[in-house]
Amino acid sequence: MALLKVYDPCVIWLLCMLFIASDMCNGGITSSFVKKKYSPDMPLDSDVFRVPPGYNAPQQVHITQGDADGRGVIISWITPAEPGSDTVLYWSENSKHKNRAEGTFVTYKFFNYTSGYVHHCTINKLEYNTKYMYEIGIGNTTRQFWFRTPPKAGPDVPYTFGVIGDLGQTHDSNATLTHYESNPKKGQTVLYLGDLSYSNDYPFHDNSRWDTWGRFIERNAAYQSWIWTAGNHELDFAPELEETTPFKPYTHRYYVPYTSSHSTSPLWYSIKRASAYIIVLSSYSAYGKSSPQYKWLRDEFNKVDRSETPWLIVLMHCPIYNSNSHHYMEGEAMRVVFESWFVKYKVDVVFSGHVHAYERSHRISNIAYNIVNGQCTPVKDQSAPVYITIGDGGNHDGPAIGMVEPQPSFSAYREPSFGHGIFDIKNRTHAYFGWHRNQDGYAVEADSFWFHNRYWNPSGQSFLASY
């Protein structure tokens, strides 16, 4: 006891100094790793862009969830020369009986480009947690793939999501997708955060780059659902080319189950998948108080049952918290409109892209400001989500190197390099997130974080993962 009394003042002094130092610190960690170079687009004769053999063979195959609950799937593909067959044959792995579903096709024109025949087939009433095989095509151009439906929604259903944004079609893009595919955590569904092909960056919005991108991602997107979010590079608004219909190529090529959540637009919608309730928002559609997106989201939050789907996840392209000089404060207007709802309904995490770097925030909010009170600084808020920017898929713009200095207090970790994320739900109370950097030919987990669910474990402090 005497020894303890002697050292008590020293311990107290040391703790005080640590507290003062931490309070004075502007922000979290800015990684010293910087990917300074960017890679060019992969050559058009790369194997990742290869057209499948055979006349009019289906290509650019991809799937997404086809209903609100996970028992449906939308299978999409393109036949380049003629419509071909709209039929999908499918069967469970342990069955010999082949079921038949009929789809539809659409085409579109954009400036001097005419699309192939874009097929979409929705299959409903599948069994949960079941592996299905499916076939598309005719005769010797028939192609076969498979997918697994998610488990039935429930509070303690484990599930693993990959998180990718702003992919493009460069050598870095290929490295990101390869690292995701080889990740031992084995993501089951990709949460895609917008900016797909970057076709609008090519002369005359070259829509053939939509085709190359579709063939590039087919190796993964034909086998697991990608949950789509629209970004600014999907707008394709080009009045100088007499193209004034926003999102035309994107909405023709990538169908989503928006009507299942009573949305009036494919640009915002929701799904339930395993133990997660996922809300997709559109940064580039109206979201003011009189807008359809605002009214839909207002009603949507009231539908979430956290006893069934405890993990509430929001996807949007433009981040509302970002300390990178690229796209700095572009999400401020949406933050003002929607952030109070994110706090009120205890959203667990908001994933965004747009900024070509990685950043994770603390749990903070900035909802007290009312113009006259001066309270316009983000504060710690355990009811608020963590905001993760992960627009670092590898596009041809290269990494967004410029950072706002000093690092703001809301920023926990940031790094201007490419990679992907894994959001691994363990049960109703805990989930693990890791950000995997593309480096040296393998995926390095550069940042990691344990989430405590805001509904089931609101007093639990989320913390950095330790090894």
Give the active site residues.
327
* Burial of 463 per CB tally in 10 Å (0-12, 13-18, 19+): exposed
Cβ atoms of 431 and 439 within 8 Å: the answer is: no
Cis omega (within 30 of 0) for bond into 53: no
d(CA 100, CA 84): 16
CA 66 – CA 189 distance, rounded (Å): 13
Nearest alpha-carbon partner for 299 in 265, 332, 324, 269: 269
What sign has the CA pseudo-torsion 110, 138, 91, 51?
negative
Helix/strand/coil percent split, the chain, to 5 = 20, 30, 50
Give dist(CA 35, CA 88) in Å, integer. Answer: 43
Dig out the tokens for 353 from the structure.
Answer: 């892209």
Q: How many CB atoms lie within 10 A of CB 50?
A: 12
Q: List the Cα angle 320/322/372 in 5-degree steps.
A: 60
Measure CA 292 to chain center: 22
